[in-house]
Amino acid sequence: MSNLLKLFKFTKKYYKNITLSLFAMLIQVAAGFVVPKLMIDIIDDAIPNKDYNLLFITTALMLAVALIGLLAGLINNYSSQKVAIFASADLRLELFKKIQTLSFNNIDKFKTSRLITNATNDVVRIQQFYQMLLRIIVRSPLMIVFGLILALQTSKQLSNVFLFSIPLLIISIIIIMILAFPRFQRVQKTIDGLNKTVLETANAPRVIKSFVSLEHENKKFEDANELFRSTTISAEKVMAFADPIIMFIFNASLAGLIFLASYFIDHGSMTEVINGVATPQVGILLAFNSYSMQILFGLMMFAMMMVFISRAEVSAKRINEIFTEEVDLTNKIDALTDITIEGNIEFKHVNFGYGTDGNRCLNDLNFSIKKGETIGIIGSTGSGKTSLVNLIPRLYDVCEGEVLIDGHNVKDIDTECLRSQISVVTQTATIFSGSIGTNIAQGNQTATYQDFVKASEKAVALEFIENYEDLFNHEIQQKGSNLSGGQKQRLSLARAFVRHPKILILDDSTSAVDAKSEEAILRTIKDLSKHMTTLVISQKISTIKDMDKIIVLDTTGKIDGFDTHDMLLKTSNVYQEIAISQVGTGGDFDEIK
């Protein structure tokens, strides 16, 4: 329960509804116990004595109590659902905000599929817990306590049945909890696996259809689905055994109650003399049976709820793991928040690697870039080109060394201040559902229509935007599925240009555009270079050969060269190999020279 208790804070601001719900529940439970109490007067007093006045009054009172109980039940249901829905919405929002603050390292640790499950399935379980808390979890102990008090007041003799039923039911509850908790933990993990498989498949329909790998993907999902099925069956077996066991205790208690009642009636201790005749106190028997059933029903609800709580506790534990995760990339207390970047970049003995296994993808990088320079970055696949540029906006932190901007360590600059002056365009263009305008506006929320037009012209995107009647209001489908690869890349570039960044990072972001568009984009970058520092990752020498300098990385993540194109052809073995390979595969040697 410790993890669930931590999530109670989301219900605090709805204390009025909680109070109303609990008060209504108290009335509803009390009404349920008053009715059997009145039934004793009718059966054991009014009917045998033919007291029709008492019968009428008591019957009317029973009806009024029942109606009050109905109204209280409706109020309890409404208030509990309101608290559950609003509190879980707050929880989901806070969880989403927390996920947004996680660094890339944190996200790599949890995995995307796990985070999706946390924000959906796990939050739904907590919502159900909030609702059940105010409808059943609190009701159950009230029914047990009130029932025991009234049952003892009604007949201490018949109360002996509880010596058997209650301990047996409590032992069953404990066993069910012990068996259920670890099983439902495994169920949640298999849901992560299902989400992961669906996410991967949904993100790659073209690849799957192109390579005719439907059978393989179906088999992969079938395996994940089968694991979920078998794990769920293992958990639900607990519930399958729980119901018959609890019903057995119910029926055994009823049998025991009838046996005890028969014994005491036979011995005259549960009879009263009416008109000279010893008459069994049937009303007491029926009322006691009602109380005992409510006690056992309360215990049964408690047993079922403990199983549900064990499942909700698993979800709460997973959610709290996100909330308590320490973000490993944070601002210093005295971080620079009011600094205008000029664009000077320096790497000093930088080493970087992913995870904690000690492997390094960048090793002892040392170079300086002056503001306004255009820098090309090239190297073989896996040489660490993207990792290098990720360190500049501090998407990751270095393992050793320093990354300096204008002489300031990036760790000393407020991340929002830093990133607001840097534009990054990734190789795989990320386009969001919405309009063309909303996608561009992500680069600058205060941009005007003219800013949109200028940024689109620089990115060579205006030519296809003008083909739409609604221009920047044209609707973009999910992931930009109604745009070509080149259009998505140009739209990403427009989003970067509209920010007017001091540092522009292009991670092979012109690979999908045609040669004419790429040439126009590179011309734009050259024209803008006096106002910003530009780093361009490319696999093609022809793209970066005219830049001020080029960084060449070898396969170990070390710098093999940092110079102009002409000098690198003479001094860098890696650059020479890339040049020869591109000529050998149809490249134009004149272009490389």
Same domain membership, residue 527 and residue 439: no
In-domain check, residue 313: yes
In this structure, the answer to whether residues 59 and 146 fall within a common structural domain is yes
Residues 288 and 403 in one domain: no
318 shares its domain with 365: no
Residue 574: per-residue pLDDT: 86
352: part of which helix (H) or strand (E)? strand 345-352
The CA distance from 214 to 208, in Å, is: 6
Residue 228 resides in a domain: no
Long-range contacts of 571-576 (CB under 8 A, 24+ apart): 574/379, 574/380, 575/378, 575/541, 575/550
Domain boundary among 296, 324, 352: 324
pLDDT at residue 268, as a whole number: 67
CA 417 remoteness from chain centre: 28
What global pTM score does this model have?
0.65
Is 56 inside any structural domain? Answer: yes
The answer to whether residue 462 sits within a structural domain is yes
| Token pair belonging to 581 | 């390979």
Q: How far apart are the first and last CA of the chain?
A: 70
Domain-located, residue 225: no
- 471 class by beta-carbon count within 10 Å (0-12 exposed, 13-18 middle, 19+ buried): middle
Query: What is residue 211's predicted lDDT score, i.e. its pLDDT?
Result: 63
DSSP characters for 456-500?
HHHTT-HHHHTTSTTGGG-EE-GGGTTS-HHHHHHHHHHHHHTT-
d(CA 373, CA 529): 6
202 within domain boundaries: no
- Residue-level pLDDT at 585: 45
Cβ contacts of 336 within 8 Å, gap of 6 or more: 408, 412, 413, 414, 417
| 343-346-351 Cα angle (round to 5) | 135
Look up residue 369 and give its two tokens: 């870039």
CB 4, CB 87: distance < 8 Å: no
Angle at 140 between CA 63 and CA 17, to 5 degrees: 75
> 234-250: string of b/e by CB count within 10 Å (b at 16+)?
ebeebeeebeebbeebb
456 shares its domain with 386: no
Among the candidates 441, 469, 500, a domain finishes at: 500
Residues 439 and 417 in one domain: no
Residue 16 lies in a domain: yes
Of 266, 290, 324, which residue sits at a domain end? 324
Same domain, 277 and 366: no
The dihedral of CA 448, 449, 450, 454: what is its sign? positive
Residue 32 sits in a domain whose CATH number is: 1.20.1560.10
Residue 329: Cβ-neighbour burial (10 angstroms; 0-12, 13-18, 19+): middle
Instruction: State which residues form the domain around 477.
Output: 428-500
251 and 370 co-located in one domain: no
Considering the domain architecture, whether residues 95 and 168 belong to the same structural domain is answered as yes
**Per-residue DSSP letters for 502-567?**
SEEEEESTTTTS-HHHHHHHHHHHHHHTTTSEEEEE-S-HHHHTTSSEEEEE-TTS-EEEEE-HHH
Residues 41, 155, single domain; the answer is yes
Does 314 share its domain with 449? no
For strands 549-553 and 374-379, give the pairing: parallel
CATH number at residue 355: 3.40.50.300
Domain-embedded: residue 593: no
In the chain, how many domains are there?
A: 3
38 and 107 share a domain?
A: yes
Chunked in runs of 10, what are the mean pLDDT values of the chain (593 residues)?
82 87 85 75 67 78 87 88 88 86 75 77 83 76 78 74 77 76 75 74 66 73 82 77 75 77 69 56 70 75 72 81 79 83 89 74 88 86 84 87 89 87 80 82 83 83 82 78 78 84 81 68 74 85 85 86 87 85 56 51
pLDDT of residue 145: 80
